[in-house]
């Protein structure tokens, strides 16, 4: 659990690495360890979510000025980045823009936590700012992260057992 919590605050402690290592280090109890790590990660993400939600009012006041700057920066960036990166940036922004919608929002959160796109760190803060239900965020993020990490560990576990 501690590794997951720390990985929410310190990205070099990558939760995916833990999910890969758990079946090797804990061959009999890897699923329990991955579930505990996921609980820690989601708990850490919830603190980011709450902090973003609390800062939403200040964000709203500054948003108009920031959007004008970002529009200019985006125009400048389009001139310097390739078409693939520009397309990924556009898709990420479009996905984040729908976070507060009742059906699309949870799907974006599930994609983010389940496959990592758009990045969960970005979605967490954006969901807090957009005042997404904390219960919805917690449930969907837990399901997505748990599924991703268990699937990763399961693949490693079966690869390790095939090798013996």
Structure confidence at residue 62 (pLDDT): 73
Distance between CA atoms of 108 and 98, rounded to whole angstroms? 8
How many independent structural domains does the chain possess? 1
pLDDT, tens digit, 9 for 90 and up, residues 74-131:
666 555 557 777 777 777 777 788 888 989 999 999 999 999 888 899 999 999 988 8
pLDDT, tens digit, 9 for 90 and up, residues 139-150:
999 999 999 999
Tokens describing residue 80 = 């310097």
Domain containing 84 equals: 2-163
Can you tell me the mean pLDDT for 149-159?
Answer: 95
């Amino acid at each position: 659990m501690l590794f997951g919590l720390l990985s929410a605050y310190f990205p070099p402690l990558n939760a995916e690495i833990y999910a890969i290592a758990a079946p090797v280090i804990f061959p009999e109890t890897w699923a329990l360890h991955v579930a505990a790590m996921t609980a820690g990660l989601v708990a850490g993400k919830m603190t980011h979510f709450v902090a973003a939600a609390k800062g939403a009012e200040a964000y709203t006041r500054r948003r108009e000025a920031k959007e004008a700057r970002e529009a200019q920066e985006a125009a400048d960036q389009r001139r310097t980045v390739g078409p693939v990166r520009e397309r990924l940036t556009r898709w990420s922004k479009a996905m984040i823009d729908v976070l507060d919608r009742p059906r699309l929002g949870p799907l974006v959160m599930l994609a983010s936590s389940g496959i990592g796109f758009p990045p969960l760190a970005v979605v967490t803060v954006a969901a807090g700012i957009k005042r997404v239900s904390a219960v919805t965020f917690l449930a969907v993020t837990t399901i997505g992260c748990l599924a991703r990490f268990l699937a990763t560990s399961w693949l490693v576990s079966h690869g390790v057992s095939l090798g013996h």
